Structure 1
Amino acid sequence: MRQRGNQYRTHAAETAPHVLSYTPEILIDGRTLERPVNYGLVRIVPPEGTEVDETRRPFVVVDPRAGHGPGIGGFKADSEIGVALRAGHPCYFIGFLPEPVPGQTIEDVTRAEAIFLERVIALHPDADAKPCVIGNCQAGWAVMILAALRPELFGSIIIAGAPLSYWAGVHGQYPMRYSGGLLGGSWLTALLSDIGQGKFDGAWLVQNFENQNPANTLWTKQYNLYSKIDTEAPRYLGFEQWWGGHVNLNAEEIQFIVDELFVGNKLAAAEIKTSDGATIDLRNIRAPIVVFCSKGDNITPPQQALDWLLDLYDDVDEIRAYGQTIVYTVHESVGHLGIFVSGGVARKEHGEFADNIDLIDALPPGLYEAIFEPRADDTAGGELVTGDWIMRCEARTLDDVRALGGNDAADDRRFATAARISETNLALYQTFVQPFLRDLLPDGYGEWLRKLHPLRLQYEVFSDANPLMAAVADLAEQAESERRPVSADNPLLGLEQVASRQIVAGLDAWRRWVETASEATFLSVYGSPLLQASVGIDPASNAPQRKAGKTGLHRTILQSRRQELKGRIDEGGMRECLARALLYVSMARGSADERGFAAIRRLRAAKDGQPHLTLGEFKSLIRDQFLMLLIDEQRALAAIPKLLPADPELCRKGLTALQEIITARGELTGEAEQRWQTIARLFLPDGKLTAVEPSSAAKAPRVKMVRH
């Protein structure tokens, strides 16, 4: 802990402290922009021996400014940046300095990040797609806001542990969502910013996280170090360097976050507007969106990560109508921090996302769940898999999201009431307290208050800045030289472990009691019909308290797009026929996996006398043909023979290539097999199907078209 304290002081003294384990090369300092911010764009220099393909889409990792400093997305080899580099992608990082630029707002930060992405795109003119942007935790909603305002900057989006629907949850779990109501709303945020003299101390946000698990905060973290003192110190010190790197926010920034997002929950309802009047509507996003969440995350549970879909869309057909592709995956157990820092998660989920981002980008519009299965020696098409896992995207509906649990109408009325109370209390504070408090505080008061924050003091007190710690360095060296671990069967060691478990159980029981009492208080107070009626909420209404509005403009555009696609059903050639046929058969399976997409690359590279398709062109081809099948399946199929080349040999070759793609994941069965037979007859009406031995490559039964 003495080393931790000294490390904290050294880290805090740096101009741009971060925990990246990679070499960053500064490209843009946000403080030099027309609207300056404390953010910056850096290029990650690939480590020696790492091959990066400059024609592949770049990855841009944006770290959360939620009380900690930047770098957690790349603080070790098995991280988001690490797996993207190993997959051959150029990598960039958007980080920030500990102190905000005076007057900067969330909108200023958003505009700066747009400039950063423009620079990345300009540096990769030959890349096969626009950048894949990863937003962790609080950076997730920031990335989504930018993508809604500037959709042309994004190739794909991955948001990990990012809260977008802040009221959502289930009873008995995730009590953090009740905090705003129990504290009377956002007036307390304004108070902390005022006593901080215009700055909000990020240490308060970190303390909120720690309060969610008192057993770990007060005991387990330190006991884990003590009980594994011979091996645990490097991991402990590495994590604590990030955990103790507290940063500040401007009062305007944190007030926007709490009012508009945490308490107001306005993002998913398209109720936030920029200073120039633009509405932030997540339905404007055109890049595929990957949502990564976990049932073990008590900060951003699956409901908060996914229920924005229920606020924006009526059904999956509406998602398709907006041309959006949304993929989600729900981990069973990893905690909030594990989503970004766990090596196992990085190697599995983030590694698969990096390896298969092109697959996600080419999926037809709709809602999918990403499923990960281990690759075995006898896996069909195993040679097409790049890692130890196979990612499969299965079609889902909004009912699958609802099945995860969520609020009912009564819960939404309670949160809407809490939001109204928050607005009233904030107005009262700003009118009757804020002016006097600001004049009352002496200069420098806020800085001293930050220095005396309990989370900062715990580092300072155990550092060499404390004279009482002077002897600890020598004593620690002596203790290490005389260290003799006891045997595993030592009875005192067993007694120590039993005592530790009892302490944890006691603290967990306390946490559960507090959570139960907090939830009961919130539900009772804000469920009061009298209180609801007094703030303008109808206690008897079951209508949604927040639902994104719809305009006739989108329906008009959609109808025009529909007519355009219907008019193009009879247009095209071999590529359109192959894409249409592939989608028709795949729709029976309801999923796509990386083996099929690895084989699909051959379709993009097919030498059919036409120019080579870029990834963007291939994506447009797949989406258009999918929508044509949805609009008029029978007509789309009937048009295939008219679009095929007259040469039967070319048709046979095309069908063979299509067969390799479709059977890459195994033999066709049921409806998929019937659809394949239909396609085979459309391509070669005079042909005959004969089964052949499985090829050594695909290790799956194959079917060959033979010409009479």
Structure 2
Amino acid sequence: MSDLGNGRFDGAHLVANFENLNPANTLWQKYYHLYANVDTEEKRFLDFEKWWGGFYFMTRKEIHTIVDGLFVGNKLERGEFVLEDGSEVDLKRNDNPVVVFASFGDNITPPQQAFNWIVKTYGTAEEIKRRGQVIVGIGHSKIGHLGIFVSAKIARKEHKEIIASFDMLNYLPPGLYEMRIKEDPEAPGEYLVSYIEKTMEDILALDDGLEDEQAFYPVMALSNANDTLYRMFVSPWIRLAANDMTAELLKQLNPLRVQRYLFSDLNPWMIPINMWASMIKKNDRRCQARENNGFRKMEAHNAKAIFYALDAYRLIRDRVSEQWFKTIYESPWMRVFHPFVPADAEKVANAQLEALRRRDAAKWRRFMAVGSFPEAIMRIFLAVGFADQRIYRHGYKVIGRLIRGNRRLRDIGDTELQRIVRTQARILQTDTDAAIDALPVLLTSRKDRKEALSMLNQGFNMIERKLTPQERSVFDRIVAVLQARPNTPNGE
């Protein structure tokens, strides 16, 4: 397509493929919804169609890099994606929190596909922690692929809360989390946000396993072979024949553009329609038919019948395409296109990772007795607050207020505070009991211990909730270790 476009790829092809995924909506439902609510839907429909029809162009190199590196080649997942300057993009070296938003209503990138890269890239949640990274997943039950990006409802809830959590994500202990957003019963329009620790098994539970992805290795091998042959023997001839005039002609003749031109002011046959539309809008006697109108009921039933017929066609088409794919690419003779990784090589890689984890654990054990009052405070807050593998955003805000209100902690900069949080989190993740037992080494005076426990007690009173059984157990253990018990949170 880039060669036919004289070096440019027409984004209309991507939009056409997207629309073909749901013919019931593309061919019928969106237009029926418009005309069934023509007095109120005009502006929304036109605004969206103008944006949706503003097709984007990419260069030959851009689209080839995207397809080869991200889709067919899947190089980003393996840490082999190379930028134009020659630098490699390795997700394992990313220092910033990653938020993955997926929906079960998305038929392009469903949650299984959106989250499975985490399993294949890291293997275990422990590897994410070892690398000091934070990955947060958030799922929606029904919004479609496009709605994730442009839906007003998603913007008011999920997008708003994700953006509001950006600062907090830098203070989360390394690991894999699910972000949950629930309505606040005491504040209409506001939401309660929490982060629940997850494992790779939770991600794999969304799917039937990774075995069904084996078929894509022969696809990748065959695609690479076709790409090489095309570039060597076909592309030069296409480029020789293409020029600016042929590229513009193909652009203007694209079906998605033609269907818009036919019903625009560019078509002189539409001039009477424009005049009639203005006259009809000015007709004050025009009114909507009642809900119980027989013709309106008949119209609604016929509209549903057409929608379900087109949707049935989609289901049959998708099932047939899936079966053809499996028949071709899961057949034994196709596996010759991709040599699978030998089991021995996988065992060696796992053994190397296990050695790195043991070395990492030994490093954090050496840091258990290193630090003073700031490190001890953060260790205590993290130990109690994360005792049930759930962190509340409101709780983090309370901790922030306590830290900024303490004369010994308020001058700590954000970068240094993030470092302390990450360090103490990794120490607790390595050995929680040993980390708690080491607290007296960090809080050498009785005054420091009382102040630390007083801050913890104050924090739980500020969030106005009772301790969970797990939090209570860790709290009691910390008090016993420090041998000083202040008033119990919430008067318990």
TM-score (normalizing by structure 2): 0.92
Show the counterpart of 1:361.
Answer: 170
2:129–2:175 contact (8 Å) kept in structure 1: yes
The match for 2:198 among 396, 406, 414 is 396
Q: Partner residue of 1:568?
A: 367
Are the aligned partners of 2:176 and 2:197 in contact in 1 as well (CA < 8 Å)? Answer: yes
Partner of 1:644: 443
2:183 and 2:189 in contact (8 A); partners too: no
Seen in structure 2, the aligned counterparts of structure 1 residues 550 and 462 have a Cα distance that, compared at 3 Å, is farther
Which of 444, 455, 461 aligns to 1:657? It is: 455
Q: CA deviation at 1:522?
A: 0.4
The answer to whether the Cα contact below 8 Å between 2:112 and 2:207 also exists between their aligned partners in 1 is yes
1:493 alignment counterpart: 296
User: Which piece of structure 1 moves more, 209-218 or 658-667?
Assistant: 658-667
The offset of 1:202, in angstroms, is: 0.4
Q: Which amino acid aligns with 2:377?
A: L
Rounded Cα–Cα distance in structure 2 between residues aligned with 1:231 and 1:367: 44
Aligned position for 2:305: 502
Please say which of residues 326-335 and 476-485 is displaced more in the overlay: 476-485
Deviations 1:633-690 (A, max 9, x none): 3332222223226353x5434323212434626211323212111222334x254655
Alpha-carbon distance, 1:564 to partner: 5.1
1:436 maps to 237
Q: Secondary structure at the match of 1:470?
A: helix
Counterpart residue identity of residue 308, structure 2: A
2:34 pairs, out of 191, 210, 225, with 225
Q: How does 1:4-23 map to 2 (within 5 A)?
A: none
Give, in whole Å, the separation in 2 of the partners of 1:487 and 1:241.
32
Aligned to 2:251: 450
Structure 1 residues 259 and 543, CA gap change in structure 2 (3 angstroms): farther
Against the structure 1 CA distance between its residues 306 and 542, is the aligned structure 2 distance closer, same or farther, given a 3 Å change threshold? Answer: farther
Which structure shows the higher helix fraction? 2
Deviation at 1:289, TM superposition (A): 0.8
Q: Secondary structure at the match of 1:659?
A: helix
Alignment of 1:81-96 (within 5 A): none
Moved more, 295-304 or 650-659: 650-659
Q: Say if 1:320 and 1:516 are closer, same or farther in 2 by CA, change over 3 A.
A: same
2:198 is aligned with what amino acid?
A: R
CA displacement at 1:586 relative to structure 2: 2.6
Q: 1:296 aligns with which of 102, 105, 117?
A: 105
Aligned mates of 1:430, 1:235 — CA distance in 2: 44
2:260 is aligned to 459
Deviations 1:35-91 (A, max 9, x none): xxxxxxxxxxxxxxxxxxxxxxxxxxxxxxxxxxxxxxxxxxxxxxxxxxxxxxxxx
Greater displacement, 256-265 / 367-376: 256-265
For the residue of structure 1 that corresponds to 2:391, the secondary structure is: strand
Q: Is the 8 A contact 2:130 2:360 kept in 1?
A: no
| C-alpha distance in 2 between matches for 1:371 and 1:688 | 33
Provide the C-alpha distance between the structure 2 equivalents of 1:553 and 1:316, rounded to a whole number of angstroms.
13
Provide the residue aligned with 1:626 in structure 2: 425
Calculate the TM-score normalised by the size of structure 1: 0.65
1:310 alignment partner in structure 2: 119
Residue identity opposite 2:452 in structure 1: G
Bigger mean CA offset, 199-208 vs 419-428: 419-428
After TM superposition, list the pairs within 5 Å mapping 1:317-332 onto structure 2: 317-332=126-141
Alpha carbons of structure 1 residues 681 and 440: separation in structure 2 relative to 1, 3 Å: same
Q: Is the 8 A contact 1:582 1:662 kept in 2?
A: no
**Cα distance, 1:527–1:568 mapped onto 2, change above 3 Å:** closer
Q: Distance in 1 between matches of 2:161 and 2:464?
A: 17
* Deviating more after overlay: 323-332 vs 674-683: 674-683
CA-to-aligned-CA distance 1:336-356 (integer Å, 9 cap, x gap): 111111121111111112222
Deviation at 1:457, TM superposition (A): 1.4
Q: Is the 8 A contact 2:100 2:114 kept in 1?
A: yes
Alpha-carbon contact 1:604-1:612 (below 8 Å) kept:
no
Q: Cα–Cα, structure 1 residues 236 and 371, in superposed 2: closer, same or farther, change >3 Å?
A: same
Mapping of residues 279-290 of structure 1, within 5 Å? 279-290=88-99
Aligned length: 489
Shift of 1:604: 2.5
Structure 1 counterpart of 2:376? 577
CA offset at residue 560 of structure 1?
7.0
Find 1:273's aligned residue among 82, 86, 104.
82
Query: Where do residues 235-246 of structure 1 align in structure 2 (5 Å cutoff)?
Result: 235-246=44-55
Question: In the alignment, residue 657 of structure 1 is paired with which amino acid?
Answer: M
Would the aligned equivalents of 1:418 and 1:526 in 2 still touch at CA under 8 Å? yes
* Cα pair distance change 1:608/1:574, threshold 3 Å: farther
Deviates more, 1:630-639 or 1:196-205: 630-639
Moved more, 456-465 or 612-621: 612-621
2:179 partner SS: strand
2:212 is the counterpart of 1:414: no
Q: Who is 1:205 aligned against?
A: 14
Residue by residue over 1:179-223, the C-alpha shift from the partner in whole angstroms, topping out at 9 and shown as x without a partner, is xxxxxxxxxxxxx11111111100000111101000110011111
**C-alpha root-mean-square deviation of aligned residues, in Å?**
2.7
Distance 2:94 2:130 in 1: 13
* Contact kept? 1:264, 1:419, Cα under 8 Å: yes
Shift of 1:617: 2.1
1:515 corresponds to: 318
Superimposed CA distance per residue, residues 285-317 of structure 1 (whole angstroms, 9 cap, x where no aligned partner): 011111111000112111221111111112111
Contact 1:412–1:545 (8 Å) recurs in 2 = no
Shift of 1:465: 1.1
Distance 2:323 2:157 in 1: 39
Note the alpha carbon deviations across 1:567-598, whole angstroms, 9 max, x for none.
43223222221211122223321110122112
| Alpha-carbon distance change, 336 to 682 in structure 1, aligned in 2, over 3 angstroms | same
Cα displacement string for residues 680-704 of structure 1 (whole angstroms, at most 9, x for unaligned residues)? 2334x2546557xxxxxxxxx345x
2:75 match: secondary structure: coil
- In structure 2, relative to structure 1, the CA distance for the partners of 1:226 and 1:686 (3 Å cut) is closer
The match for 2:411 is 612
The 1:686/1:680 distance shift into structure 2, 3 A limit, reads: closer
Secondary structure of 2:156's partner?
Answer: helix
Alignment of 1:90-239 (within 5 A): 192-239=1-48
Residues 264, 243 of structure 1: CA spacing in aligned structure 2 closer, same or farther, 3 A cutoff?
Answer: same
Contact 1:311 1:547 in 2 (8 A): no
Checking the alignment, whether the CA contact within 8 Å between 2:128 and 2:176 is kept in structure 1 is yes
Deviation digits for residues 411-469 of structure 1 (CA, Å, limit 9, x no counterpart): 33321111111122222222222222222335410111111111111221211111111
| Aligned position for 1:114 | none
Give 3-state SS (helix, strand or coil) of 1:194's partner. coil
Deviation at 1:548, TM superposition (A): 13
- Answer yes or no: is the 8 Å Cα contact 1:311–1:546 preserved in 2: no
CA distance 1:473–1:575, change in 2 (3 Å): same
Q: Give the equivalent residue in structure 2 for 1:525.
A: 328
Q: Check conservation: 1:599, 1:660, Cα contact below 8 A.
A: no
User: Which position in structure 2 is the counterpart of 1:678?
Assistant: 477
CA distance, structure 1, for counterparts of residue 325 and residue 427 of structure 2? 50
The answer for the alignment partner of 1:590 in structure 2 is 389
User: Per-residue displacement from partner, 1:319-370 (whole Å, max 9, x unpaired)?
Assistant: 1001001110110111111111112111111111222222222100000001
